[in-house]
Amino acid sequence: MKRPKSPRSRAFTLSFALLTLLVSLVVTGTALASGTFKLRSTSVSEVSGGWHIYCDVILARPPSIAHPTLKFLFTRTVYFERARVDNNPNPVINRTPLVNQNPSVESLEVDFADAAGKIWNRTHFDFSLTRLRGYEAGEYKVQVRMSDGTDVGTPTYITLNGDNDIIDRRAITFDAKNPSMKKVASGVDAGPSHATADESVAAAVPNNGEVVPASSAPPFLSEDAFKKQPEEELREHPKGCGCEVPGLGPAGVTFASGALSALWTGLGLSVLAWRRRRARPGDRG
């Protein structure tokens, strides 16, 4: 006879079933909320410096506006390097893996409405990536994100095929026996040698080929700058007392000066004689 389950066992079973259902609803709701993003082709060829990409975007529900802005994040994972190497006349392609690259973000308005104006939750969308925007041939990881930060679908990968710039990775050799390297060897470590055609040309150039000025530049100050101007000349004043008798020239001025001196001399002698007469005792009266 089968033993009935205890109430505790039944409660545990019911709780486990509810927890499983809740987890399933959360996972399903998250998947529906993220929607779906799909590339029509994961390998695109370059045309006129760009790559045209076609994709399908499906949301969990129709957006609130007909043209919401979605962000397309392209993270470079592999770079297609074209390089010239030894023993190969044609460039070779090297797939160079890249890590910790910052994504390039393209914010694009996606149309979810039809011709009648009805808004749907899915659309076919196409856009172009160009080298002017910094894109190069290689592999990229693509992620689509809503304006609120919600990811649409899961990341996918796309390959942009094309020819990148050539990098020269050929080894540099120094061979003194090579005629094309004779000039380098003789000028560096081969010691003195006979004059070559280049040295003959250099000898014909004056100043041993050094750069010299073709002509002298004009002086900063002209010669007239060092000449004294008329107002700078020191004028010489005439000698004498500075007085001038009207109507007399320089000779009259000299005569007047002599007469004045004789007058003062006579006056001085008269005063001296008068004082002597007053000093005599017999003259006092």
Residue with tokens 């079973």: 13
- Amino acid at position 81, single letter: E
The alpha carbon of 105 is separated from its chain's Cα centroid by a whole number of angstroms, namely 24
Predicted TM-score of the model (pTM): 0.52
**Residue 169 CB contacts under 8 Å (≥ 6 apart), including other chains:** 83, 84, 85
Q: Are 56 and 38 in contact (CB under 8 A)?
A: yes
**Residue 120 CB contacts under 8 Å (≥ 6 apart), including other chains:** 62, 112, 113, 114
Domains of the chain: 33-168 (2.60.40)
Would you give the end-to-end CA distance of the chain in angstroms?
A: 195
Per-residue pLDDT of the chain (285 residues; tens, 9 = 90+): 555 556 666 666 666 666 665 545 444 444 444 799 999 999 999 999 999 999 999 999 999 999 999 999 999 999 999 999 998 889 999 999 999 999 999 999 999 999 999 999 999 999 999 999 999 999 999 999 999 999 999 999 999 999 999 999 998 866 666 666 555 444 444 455 555 555 555 555 555 556 666 666 677 667 777 777 776 666 665 565 555 555 555 555 555 666 677 777 878 888 787 777 777 665 554
